[in-house]
Amino acid sequence: MRNHLTNSVQPLQTQATQTSGVEDVRSLYNSNDLNFSRLVPEPIAREHNLALARRIGIQPGHYILDAGCGAGVPAIHIAQAYPGTKIEGMTVSDVEATEAQSRIQLANLGDRLTIQPGDFHHLPFPDGVFNVVFFNDSIKYSNQIPQVLAEVKRVLRPNGILYITDLFLKEPPLSPTEKSGLYKAQQATPHLSHATTLKMMVDYIAQAGFQSIQSNGNMANEMPAQRFRLDSTKLTFPDAPLIYGEVKAIKAQQHQIQHFHLSSSFSNNSALNHGQNPNVQKIKKDIAYNIIQNIDGSKENNIKKNLRCFHEHKAAFNVENFYPLNEFETFLKSQEKCNMDCSCKIDSDKLHAGRFNLVYHNHLNDTKNFYIALTDILNFFGKVESRAGIKLDYQPLQQFLGQDFNFKRLFRVLVGVDAKPEVSESRLKLFVWLRDYPEKVKAALDLYGDFSSKDEIRSLILNDNLLLEFDFHFNNRTEVKLYPTLHRENFLGSHREILGNMLPAKALSLLEMCMQFQIGFSPSNKSNILYFYPFNSKHFLHFIGNEMVEKVQSYYRHQPLKKVAVCIPIAEFENYSINKINLYYSLS
């Protein structure tokens, strides 16, 4: 029977579902003897564990959580050396928990030390009870570090200590040999797929609201036991870019929370009327809207913000005024309530940055806002089309909208421009995001035309919500693309098995860092495109490890970002390194 602390807070019952990957780690430790303290003589293990306690700052009387405590040896050594300490230990392994309980009885520490099986993503303790929470060679097994840190912050007292020591990845850029070594290590040891750089861990901790953060990446040269652990790993994976590091931080007195919202808050649109293309006029007639012009200070401010984003992006990446960017700038000056997305397309060492989207979102469910937005967009298209030699094919859009389109079933409308040196290679884009509109979801699938992919697409469509893209090429050709959208509860829950059959393991591991995900289906693409919406783009892109991405990030990491989308063809995950990436930045 489990021993309870006589004077400590009793664990609460929790119904939380276990975090993805927990069962794999449990199986690993239930079937393997991986405890470091059993690999070295007891005096050496004790010396190491007490040195860790001093680095942590443990004091007599502290109430401590050892998260990922293994067979309990460090906790026993600390309890023996620090009078009055009470320690709770959690291990994912039932086998280790049983062994730990036997060790506790032999050490006669049952009144001060308790170890139980559990998942540190869902801590079964009340708020604000611990003086110290530490992770000793355990946090690398987590694929959801923000969730872990949120739980730690919840159970720590004000001024409580968080301490982490573990293997970390070397900071990028990595050499080809290191990339290959890391790939081999991650294939053979899946938990290394979740390892971060030390800097990324520091950033995670800062974003969780901790203060007084200290880090050290030189532990292997300061503590012989960490050198032993690192060298043991290097024997198997000699080229893996790994270091041993530590981080220490304090929970602030005042509760400080930072939220990361990847979905933007978009406004409504009203604007001027342009263009006389007969096909555009036909669609406008079907829409039958009433333009409402409402110029005020907020309109001017929002327009100025979008224009500033447009010009600063062009200047940062030396974007020339290829057609139709001048026309797009004129269009921006008339668009009141929409948000700008700036994009960079990366292919190895090549960068194409003449890519922009405007996003319209209808908060008030006012049908006329999308009437106006779509009509203004088509008028802009008509103006672009006035240049000699450019002709757009509106037939697929006309077929999709029909005569009775219900604009109340739209979630968002987007317009995009992709301007290239050769006008014939440029294009305009129109996106419509359907919400609970089964008739038009069916129409979109019929329009898509690639019968081989339809079952796969249908399996990903939730509640008849679907993002549909019309790509208008300047040679009278239009492509239709479909983007089923999944949120975190879908791709980590109901649709995990479906995605497991579609995606490579490396892509699946990236989902753990995201709140939203899309797959872009296009008959013309050799590979479907994966759209990741990460909680933290800086950490996510560090994990990708692409040098050109780092150059783009060197500009955008200093900008106030509202959302970032990272788009990668599935085929890229078959390579050691990812070379083709599209980035979309929306500024606050």
Segments making up each domain of the chain, as ranges:
22-251, 278-587
For the chain, the residue count is 588
Determine the Cα–Cα distance for residues 527 and 66; give it in Å rounded to an integer.
Answer: 45
**Which of these ranges, 15-24, 72-81, 410-419, 527-536, has the smallest mean pLDDT?**
15-24
Q: How far, CA to CA in Å, does 38 sit from each of 43, 193, 232, 499?
A: 11, 26, 14, 40
Element (H, E) at 24: helix 22-31
- What the block records as the tokens of 489 is 């509860």
Among 232-246, 283-297, 302-316, 325-339, whose mean pLDDT is lowest? Answer: 283-297
Q: What torsion, rounded to 10 degrees, do the Cα atoms 357, 363, 368, 373 define?
A: -10
Encode burial over 87-110: b for 16+ CB neighbours within 10 A, e otherwise.
Answer: bbbbbbbebbbebbbebbeebebe
Rg of the chain, C-alpha, whole Å: 28
Arithmetic mean of pLDDT, 485-490: 89
**Between vectors from CA 559 to CA 196 and to CA 317, what angle results, nearest 5°?**
95
State whether CATH 3.40.50.2000 applies to domain 22-251: no
What's the pLDDT band for 152 if we cut at 50, 70, 90?
very high
**What value does the mean pLDDT of the chain take?**
83
pLDDT at 45: 85
Cβ neighbour number for residue 443 with a 10 Å cutoff:
18
**Total-model pTM:** 0.56
Q: What is the pLDDT of residue 233?
A: 83
Q: What is the pLDDT of residues 223-280, one digit of tens each?
A: 888 888 888 888 888 999 999 999 999 998 754 333 322 222 223 333 223 344 555 5
Q: What is the structure's pLDDT at 493? A: 84
Phi, psi torsion values for 93, nearest 5 degrees: -95, 125
Q: Give me the pLDDT at residue 16, please.
A: 36
Is a pLDDT exceeding 90 seen at residue 512? no
Backbone angles phi, psi at 541, to 5 degrees: -75, -30
pLDDT at 320: 93
Percent of the chain with pLDDT over 70: 83
Least trusted range by pLDDT, from 186-195, 209-218, 266-275, 313-322? 266-275
CA 104 and chain centroid, separation: 41
pLDDT at 42: 79
Which tens digit of pLDDT belongs to each residue from 23-56?
A: 665 555 555 555 544 556 778 888 999 999 999 9
| Mean per-residue pLDDT, 99-116 | 92
- Identify the residue with better confidence: 60 or 576: 60
Higher pLDDT: 560 or 299? It is 560
pLDDT at 545 over 80: no
Residue 531 and residue 517 in contact, taking contact as beta carbons nearer than 8 Å: yes
Asked whether residue 6 carries a pLDDT value surpassing 70, the answer given is no
What are the backbone dihedrals phi and psi of residue 326, each rounded to the nearest 5 degrees, phi first? -60, -40
- The whole-number average pLDDT for the span 497-512 is 90
Contacts of 123 (CB under 8 A, 6+ apart): 65, 67, 90, 151, 152, 154, 155
Long-range contacts of 484-487 (CB under 8 A, 24+ apart): 484/457, 484/460, 484/518, 484/519, 484/521, 485/516, 485/517, 485/518, 486/460, 486/462, 486/516, 486/517, 486/518, 487/515, 487/516, 487/517
Q: Measured at the alpha carbon of residue 32, what is the angle toward residues 29 and 36, in degrees to the nearest 5?
A: 80
- State the DSSP H helix or E strand holding residue 341, giving kind and residue range, or none if neither: strand 339-347
The pLDDT of 353-380, averaged and rounded, is 83
Residue 297 has pLDDT above 80, yes or no: no
d(CA 361, CA 334): 16
Q: To the nearest whole percent, how much of the chain has pLDDT over 90?
A: 50
